[in-house]
Structure 1
Amino acid sequence: MEDPVKHLLKISALGVTLLLWLVVMPVSTNAQMSKVKTVWVILMENHNWTGNNAGAAFGAPDIKGNPLAPYTNRTLLQTSAHAEQYFNPPGNHPSQPNYLWLEAGTNFGVLGDTQPGQPQIFTDQHLVKLLEDAGISWRAYAEPDFGSPVFDNCPLDFTFLDVEHLAFVYFNDINDGLNPQSAECIAHVRPYYQLATDLADHTVAQYNFITPNLCHDGHEGVSPCDANEPADNTLRSDTWLKQNVPLILESDEYKEGGALFIIWDEAEDSGKFSDGPIGMFLLSPFAKGGGKRGFSNSIHYDHSSTLKTLQEIFHVEPLLGAAADPETKDLSDLFKGDCGDQDCR
């Protein structure tokens, strides 16, 4: 008979091992979510989903129920899974801190819109570095504000675009010491028009981060890029989504295992609803509703939830920043339950 003390020690050791595994391994708890092979994230700008916060800092109306957002309300809302209570992290304004948060689970103390090097971020603990180390491809597609550069240089200032919407180029392991010829940056940060070619050629990356330009992302105080575009910034951004989302949804990569997250970066930055709720939509063959009907929940989420979900989809660790907080909920409730390929809720 085994010594009772040794038996208890074995049980204790097993318990410690299991606890450590649970702490460090971002395990996907949703079978449908784990089927996702290709992810796109589109970041829009500066609108509350609800809250009647018009008249606050940005002066932008809510998106929900807004006649100036017909595609969002009549199509996305009716065919996607969305969150009614999704927020930017508390007090996380203006834009740049939210883009950094989606990449690393923290704003690194940045509470302004700066250009790369202000500060230069030296950690390798951020999402695309974890993906790269795991052999998972990634690419950022940025729509230029001015002209049509081919991005033969790493975008390190505001010459062609709002660079604070590209969190990746603030990291030293991407910008190679603020080197405009950084091969790592140029290979991964591409002009938006390349997305159509990559989809057609089936060379799209596994993780894709998309930023419309200031004319199209809903940013306030910006004139149309083209005389034929709507004058209103909300309608113009909604029109951009209507014209560009189908490009992804019609691709083989989406149909065979894709997930598209459409998220607004931040809320109004003043007033009672300064942190949200903001818009967050999930379109995927594996999402609740399955593209045939809408689904929503009222679980409290923020950008940490999205980052945690991305890490779970791609099985990369450790969970970064606030994504590792035990209170952070992932977005698994927006995906179908564990019921095979049925369109279950």
Structure 2
Amino acid sequence: MCSRTPVLLAAVLLLGLASAKTSRNLAEPGPSPQVSGGTASHIQTVFLIVMAKHNWSSIKGNTNAPYINGTLLPIASHAESYYNRLRIHPDLPNYVYLEAGRSLGIVTNDPPSINHQNVTSHLVRRLADAGISWKVYEESIGGDVCPLTDSLPYVVAHNPFVYFDDMTGSLDPNSDDCIAHIRPFTELALDLQQGTVARYNFIVPNRCNDMATSCDGRNQIRKGDTWLSQNVPVILNSAAYQSGGALFITWDQAEIGDGPIGMIVLSPFARGNGYQNSTYYHHGAMLRTVEEIFGLIPPLTQDIAHDADLSKMFAVFP
């Protein structure tokens, strides 16, 4: 009996270590997984998270952003010179630029009833026409209607897709296409778990979590950083990410001037390990990168055709 005690103790210790390791993996992301045999040879799935209204100088090195600075940047690639498009403000035209490669003359945050566009030349229309799935995850929407108006903390100006008539059936709150593609953020985790996530996923926190404001008096950067710490690991631990995913985290616009603003890239194919560069980028680079990943050639507009893409962030692209 005594001779078996050390063996039993060793087994218990090994089980404890394995359990602790599993818990850490679920709680926080590890280094970007390496692509190996049996996995995708290029990027298959894109996740884009858009935070709000901060210059990169207010995020990088800020003690109120411990997750970004302490966990993400050491394993990610990031840009030091990524800007919102020159003199494009406020929020909405920047979101529209990410979708259409131009701001379409929009200069306000007015709702779709005022700023809607009868334009079919935009990213998700091209994806749909090419048979590539896409979905939008907006925090704090109900999912039973097309969200065409503010319902705080949901802000419609942070949802560019509902400004395109072909996405909403010309402002129809009961548009089947809109309701099917623009879903509550709470559904993302289940879609990842069930393996039903789309190939292009546009993710927007509500106004209390996107760093624009905290809604409760707490530091807005800290609150947004906490939101990322709770939700980014869900993506990084998913099969969709680990078998050919790329996660981009950016900000809609600068608070002062045009930037720089943040652009963080995580992927099994990214250079990662803290890689950074000072290449000049703006939102056209993000759009062009998505188009190249999914083989949508030529680019939507001549404007972004001459812009740098984000390929330098990757060891393998697309």
> Shorter chain as normaliser: what TM range?
0.7 to 0.9
Find out whether 1:288 has 2:271 as its counterpart. Answer: yes
Find the counterpart in structure 2 of residue 255 from structure 1.
Answer: 242
Q: Following the alignment from structure 2 to structure 1, what is the Cα–Cα distance between the partners of residues 266 and 303?
A: 22
Q: Following the alignment from structure 1 to structure 2, what is the Cα–Cα distance between the partners of residues 65 and 45?
A: 18
Find out whether 1:85 has 2:74 as its counterpart. Answer: no
- Where structure 2 has 5 or more consecutive residues not aligned to the other structure, the ranges are 1-39
CA change 1:133–1:257 in 2 (3 A) is: same
Deviations 1:63-116, CA, capped at 9 Å, x for gaps: 111111111111111110000000000111111011000000011111111111
TM-score normalised by the chain length of structure 1: 0.78
Find the counterpart in structure 2 of residue 176 from structure 1.
Answer: 169
Find the counterpart in structure 1 of residue 61 from structure 2.
Answer: 65
Find out whether 1:318 has 2:298 as its counterpart. Answer: yes
Deviations 1:213-244, CA, capped at 9 Å, x for gaps: 01100013x423xxxxx811110000000110
How much has 1:150 moved relative to structure 2?
3.1
Moved more, 181-190 or 152-161: 152-161
Find the counterpart in structure 1 of residue 25 from structure 2.
Answer: none
Given that residues 102 and 303 in structure 1 are in contact (C-alpha distance below 8 angstroms), is that contact kept between their aligned partners in structure 2?
Answer: yes
The percent identity for this pair of structures is: 48
Moved more, 113-122 or 178-187: 113-122
Find the counterpart in structure 1 of residue 215 from structure 2.
Answer: 223
How much has 1:322 moved relative to structure 2?
5.4
Given that residues 121 and 172 in structure 1 are in contact (C-alpha distance below 8 angstroms), is that contact kept between their aligned partners in structure 2?
Answer: yes
Given that residues 288 and 305 in structure 2 are in contact (C-alpha distance below 8 angstroms), is that contact kept between their aligned partners in structure 1?
Answer: no
How much has 1:262 moved relative to structure 2?
0.2
Q: Following the alignment from structure 2 to structure 1, what is the Cα–Cα distance between the partners of residues 251 and 304?
A: 22
Find the counterpart in structure 1 of residue 202 from structure 2.
Answer: 209
Residue identity in the other structure for 2:166: D
Q: Following the alignment from structure 2 to structure 1, what is the Cα–Cα distance between the partners of residues 283 and 200?
A: 16
How much has 1:196 moved relative to structure 2?
0.8
Q: Following the alignment from structure 1 to structure 2, what is the Cα–Cα distance between the partners of residues 284 and 96?
A: 28
TM-score normalised by the chain length of structure 2: 0.84
Deviations 1:162-198, CA, capped at 9 Å, x for gaps: 0111100100110101101001100000000000110
Residue identity in the other structure for 1:331: L
Find the counterpart in structure 2 of residue 143 from structure 1.
Answer: 139
- Where structure 1 has 5 or more consecutive residues not aligned to the other structure, the ranges are 1-32, 51-61, 225-229, 339-345
RMSD of aligned residue pairs (Cα, Å): 1.7
Residue identity in the other structure for 1:209: F
Q: Following the alignment from structure 1 to structure 2, what is the Cα–Cα distance between the partners of residues 71 and 324?
A: 32
How much has 1:321 moved relative to structure 2?
2.6
Find out whether 1:125 has 2:105 as its counterpart. Answer: no
Residue identity in the other structure for 1:203: T
Find out whether 1:336 has 2:315 as its counterpart. Answer: yes
Number of residues of Structure 1 aligned to a counterpart in Structure 2 = 278
